[in-house]
Amino acid sequence: MLDFSLSGKVALVTGASYGIGFALASAYAEQGATIVFNDINQELVDRGLAAYKDAGITAHGYVCDVTDEEQVNAFVKQVTEEVGHINILVNNAGIIKRIPMCEMTAAEFRQVIDIDLNGPFIMSKAVIPDMIAQGGGKIINICSMMSELGRETVSAYAAAKGGLKMLTKNIASEYGEYNIQCNGIGPGYIATPQTAPLREVQPDGSRHPFDQFIIAKTPAARWGEAGDLAGPAVFLASSASDFVNGHILYVDGGILAYIGKQPQ
């Protein structure tokens, strides 16, 4: 029988106080997983704990910066001691900076790469040894349309997410023999705080030009909701996907398949 249950599993979702991470962790809890999440400061962790509680979920929240290897190693050790062995890791924490490349400083470029690419490397490196000892595990990296496409002002983010696609394939290649499946989810344009600037209603009450652009580029003719990612994320975290490895599952309403609607 196909098994999408996550009962008895410990799922760690990074940067999951709100947004996509929160939605994925909530879906995992619905499937029976124990939820662990981190965020960059205590205020966000407390906000997340309250949100999970409101949703009827008893989550375990920790402050941890995914770019700090010492913090991450201590965090993973603490979770393993206090909650249990980590069976599922979702590398969700991420930022974006929308700056024309020639105006972006090297420090700004490095910051995006550090959080969006080095972070998943550090987190994955911290959990893999115990996953091997436990007989396997699931790693899911939150990629992006920008793992495949570029656009103006997001050079650092596209470089990071393109790299994350290949890190996903490399973890799958290097650790598949230990029954670790590493896959990616490539969300399309999802309505979260991260994309709020792209959806701001204009002073004249019209939709943001980018909002209109994405609607025309998406066969589903809508922005995604974080909940649209829940089913694919549960699939990749469950034993139903034990022979899926190194795959980036795009959940984009069809953007990558579509040339875009002709302007009327």
Q: Mind telling me the catalytic residues?
A: 157
Binding ligand GCO (rule: CB under 6 A), the pick from 38, 144, 155, 238 is: 144
Residue 66 interacts with ligand NAP (CB under 6 A)?
A: yes
Residue 147 interacts with ligand NAP (CB under 6 A)?
A: no
Binding ligand GCO (rule: CB under 6 A), the pick from 29, 35, 49, 146 is: 146
- Residue 104 binding partner per list ligand GCO, ligand NAP, none, with a CB distance cut-off of 5 to 8 Å that depends on partner kind: none
Distance CA 25, CA 40 (A): 17
Residue 61 interacts with ligand NAP (CB under 6 A)?
A: no
Residue 15 interacts with ligand NAP (CB under 6 A)?
A: yes
- Residue 154 binding partner per list ligand GCO, ligand NAP, none, with a CB distance cut-off of 5 to 8 Å that depends on partner kind: ligand GCO
75: left (phi over 0), alpha (psi -120 to 50) or beta: alpha
Residue 59 interacts with ligand NAP (CB under 6 A)?
A: no
Asked if residues 160 and 194 have their Cβ atoms less than 8 Å apart, the reply is no
Angle, vertex CA 166, rays to CA 162 and CA 170, nearest 5: 165
Residue 145 interacts with ligand GCO (CB under 6 A)?
A: yes
User: For residue 68, what are the contacts with CB-CB under 8 A and spacing of at least 6?
Assistant: 122
- The footprint of ligand GCO (CB under 6 A) covers 96, 98, 144-146, 151, 154, 157, 187-189, 194-195, 198
